[in-house]
Amino acid sequence: MRSPLPILLLLGALVPLLPQRAHAAELCSETLSTAAQTQCLLAALKDRDRELDQALARVAQEAQQVPGPTFQTLWRENLKGFYRTTVDPRQQAEAFRAQRRAVCAYAKSVGFQGTGYGISTTRCELALTQALLQELRP
């Protein structure tokens, strides 16, 4: 059975992509050259990925501090069973990045509009990462 994560990410991303796209545009103006935009977006994505690593580590640490076995069991079973991932924040981040790439490539391919494949998919990846970071904020 395939993991439902790509579908969930795509569905969850549809609504937040519009305001997040504006955020990515503020970071890296579309008036920049293609090469400059690409470099800017890749740097921004790298920064967001660092933030994501820290946020996932914080969530895992907080979850481990919850007293009693009930939450720990539900948390582990939900992550491992439903989402087919792990409680290890580093592995969660890698799984998210892989799914994020797949979802953004799929979205660009379905749209099949214009050029700028790399720029478009990187903006999408930034938006998805930003949406997840918002969910992980304390």
pLDDT digits (tens, 9 = 90+) for 19-56: 444 455 467 888 889 899 999 999 999 999 999 999 99
Report residue 119: phi and psi, to 5°. -65, -45
Q: What mean pLDDT, rounded, does the chain reach?
A: 80
Residues 89/53, Cβ–Cβ less than 8 Å: yes
Residues 82/4, Cβ–Cβ less than 8 Å: yes
The percent of residues above 70 in pLDDT, for the chain, comes to 78
In the structure, what pLDDT confidence band is assigned to residue 67 with cuts at 50, 70 and 90? confident
Report residue 3: phi and psi, to 5°. -70, 140
